[in-house]
A and B are shown apart, each in its own frame.
Chain A
Amino acid sequence: MALLQISEPGQSTAPHQHKLAAGIDLGTTNSLVATVRSGLASVLIDDDGHALLPSVVRYLPDEKIEVGYSAQAAQSQDPANTIVSVKRFMGRGLKEIDVSQQPYHFIETKTESGEMLQIETRAGVKSPVEISAEILKSLKKRAEKSLGGELVGVVITVPAYFDDAQRQATKDAARLAGLNVLRLLNEPTAAAVAYGLDTGVEGTYVIYDLGGGTFDISILKLSKGVFEVLATNGDSALGGDDFDRRIFCWILEASKCKPVNAQNTRLLLTKAREAKEWLTDHATAQITSVLSTGEVVNVTLTTKLFNEFTQTLVAKTLSPTKKALRDADLSIEDIKGVVMVGGATRMPQIRLAVADFFKQTPLTNLDPDKVVALGAAIQANTLAGNKSDQDLLLLDVIPLSLGLETMGGLVEKIIPRNSTLPIARAQEFTTFKDGQTAMSIHVLQGERELVSDCRSLARFELRGIPAMVAGAARIRVTFTVDADGLLNVSARETTTNIEANIVVKPSYGLSEEQILSMLQSSFGAAESDKNSRLLAEAKVDAESLLAAIKAALEQDGHLLNNQENEQIKAKMNALEANIQAGSGDAIREATEALNTATEDFAAKRMDASVSRALAGKNIDTVNL
Chain B
Amino acid sequence: MNLNYFELFELKPAFDIDLAALENNYRKIQSESHPDRFVTATSAEKLASMQTATLANEAYQTLKKPTSRAKYLLELQGINAIADTNTNMPADFLMQQMEWREAVEDNATNLSGMHRLLRDIKLEAATLHQVLADELDTKKAWQTAAETLRKLQFMDKLREEIARKLAILED
Could you jot down 6 A-B contacts, CB within 8 Å? A422-B57, A482-B50, A548-B45, A596-B44, A605-B45, A614-B29
Q: Establish whether residues B36 and A483, one from each chain, have CB atoms under 8 Å apart when the complex forms.
A: yes
Is B42 among interface residues, defined by CB-CB distance under 8 A? yes
* Docked pose: A373 CA to B117 CA in angstroms: 43
Set of chain B residues within 8 Å of A385, measured between Cβ atoms: 39-40
A182 interface residue (CB < 8 Å to B): yes
The CA of A605 and the CA of B41, in the complex, are separated in Å by 13
Contact between A422 and B48, CB atoms less than 8 A apart: no
Chain B residues within 8 Å of A419, by CB = 57, 61
Task: State the A residues within 8 Å of B (CB).
Answer: 153, 182-183, 226, 318-319, 322-323, 326-327, 379, 382-385, 391-395, 419-424, 480, 482-483, 545, 548-549, 595-596, 598-599, 601-603, 605-607, 609-610, 612-614, 616-618
A514 and B73 CA atoms in complex are apart in Å by: 50
Summed over the interface, the residue pairs from A and B with CB atoms below 8 Å come to a total of: 117
Count B-side interface residues using an 8 Å CB cutoff: 38
Using CB atoms and an 8 Å cutoff, list the residues of chain B in contact with chain A.
1, 10, 24-25, 27-36, 39-45, 47-54, 57-58, 60-61, 163, 166-167, 170-171
Collect the chain B residues with CB atoms within 8 Å of residue A153's CB. Answer: 39
The distance from the CB of B112 to the nearest CB of chain A, in whole angstroms, is 14
Complex contact B42–A549 (CB within 8 A): yes
Interface of chain A, main secondary structure: helix
How far apart are the CA atoms of A609 and B24 in the complex, in Å? 16
The reply to whether B58 and A423 form a contact with Cβ atoms under 8 Å apart is yes
Beyond A183-B39, A617-B24, A617-B25, whether A326 also contacts B32 by CB under 8 A is no
With A595-B42, A613-B28, A613-B29 already in contact, the answer to whether A606 and B48 are too (CB < 8 A) is yes
The answer for the CA separation of A34 and B155 in the assembled complex, in Å, is: 48
Q: Are B58 and A598 interface neighbours, CB within 8 A? A: no
Partner of A384, one of B1, B31, B40, B57: B40
If A422-B54, A601-B44 touch, whether A610 touches B34 (CB-CB below 8 Å) is no
Q: Please give the distance in Å from B161's CB to the nearest CB on chain A.
A: 13
Q: CB within 8 A of B32: which of A545, A610, A617?
A: A610
Judge whether A599 and B54 touch: CB under 8 Å: no
Is A393 a contact of B170 with CB atoms below 8 Å?
no
Asked if A610 meets B42 with Cβ closer than 8 Å, knowing A326-B163, A422-B57, A602-B48, the reply is no
Most buried by A among B35, B39, B47: B39
Q: Is B28 touching A394 in the complex (CB atoms < 8 A)?
A: no
Query: How many angstroms between the C-alpha atoms of A431 and B57 in the bound complex?
Result: 31
Contacts A383-B36, A614-B28 hold; do A598 and B170 have CB atoms under 8 A apart? Answer: no
- Cβ contact within 8 Å between A603 and B51: yes
Q: B32 contacts which chain A residues (CB < 8 A)?
A: 606, 609-610, 612-613
Closest to B118 in A: A326
| List of A residues within 8 angstroms of B171 by Cβ | 319
Contact of A483 with B33 in the complex, beta carbons under 8 Å: no
Are B25 and A614 in touch, CB under 8 angstroms?
yes
A382/B36 in contact, CB under 8 A = yes
Q: What is the CB-to-nearest-CB distance from B116 to chain A, in angstroms, rounded to a whole number? A: 14
Instruction: Assess whether A393 is in contact with B29, with CB atoms less than 8 Å apart.
Output: no
Contacting pair B44 A422 (CB below 8 A): no
